[in-house]
Chain A
């Protein structure tokens, strides 16, 4: 991912929340897939939510991710850039432990857990 692309992700991340389309057309199954991929963050997720100050973090992330187009069956092509954008968030800069968990999560995206 280029620096420009990464910045585009970051710009979206704390932008105004996208309203759920009244048509509901974002797709319930895809939402579950995004949440599943986000579970790569595992036990780090609640702390990240708190640190980023977004009480509806999962909802917000789903809205962000559904604006992009995946290029793989697992959805990792969506989630990995998002995780990389977390590494640059100022809210997390003094939390080395959480940042390491994010780095570990990026690594784990390459090896889906079920095959371990």
Chain B
């Protein structure tokens, strides 16, 4: 794969990382995985923070929802981000709740001017509260949504209005292409927003692809990555059928494998 690739941290990799300290460029931490962690577990995360830059990825900012922003949630994010001196923060350009009932998934938004105005207002509020920019990830989309603004222009415009970079998920572009026929290449051609960091992952075809983070990134994913500036951090996500770190790192980079 590539020596520039870091990993999205999962609990079962923590001890191995602490023991071997492979030369990963960065770790991504999912906020919701740590918010109820014990003191001991948070202590281990602090040890990792001393060794690796940390990118904080969130699932529940609910930026696109019409429910009020949850100040208590954002307060936790801010404290966590301060404590671990994270390099950047992201969530998704999506919504998860309506009238206080939460979905189990990240749901797509209409691609309309009304959506942009709605999200921009909430994003301004959230960024001011966190005192940080919030990168927005492109989610996998399985169904068409209303609106005629190109998906990439939603990110370009939110960057222009709010200064929010994109958290670019290349596998999500590939999954969306298979379901909706939208070209990842055209997305990258038209992308003007700054890129905070990149997600790569692999997926199953059952028979159409589902973004389940269950494989190494496909060749198509790595071809897209070659189009992204080498200065942008890259994070590998792996959830289903997760290998051990000892199995994973050689596949990412021989340099990293040598240290495990």
Contact = CB atoms under 8 A, between A and B. Distances in A.
B213 to A, nearest CB: 5
A75 interface: yes
B182 interface: no
Contacts of B104: 26-27, 30, 66, 69-70
Contacts of A25: 105, 210
Interface stretch (B28-36, B120-128, B251-259): B28-36
B102 A71 contact: yes
A36 B33 contact: yes
Given A39-B36, A114-B79, A72 B102 contact: yes
B26 to A, nearest CB: 18
A106 B183 CA distance: 47
11 contacts: A32-B32, A33-B60, A36-B37, A42-B37, A73-B72, A73-B73, A74-B35, A112-B36, A112-B76, A113-B34, A115-B79
Interface string B60-72: 1010000000101
Contact of A73 (B10, B41, B70, B214): B70
Interface string A1-43: 0000000000000000000001111111111110111111011
Interface residues of B, number: 41
Contacts of B75: 115
Contact of B37 (A24, A26, A30, A113): A113
Nearest to A27: B105
A39 B41 contact: yes
B238 to A, nearest CB: 10
B62 A69 contact: no
Contacts of A73: 60, 62, 70, 72-73, 97, 102
A99 B47 CA distance: 31
Q: Which of B40, B212, B240 has the most CB of A within 10 A?
A: B212
B83 interface: yes
A39 B11 CA distance: 10
Given A29-B106, A33-B59, A113-B35, A74 B239 contact: no
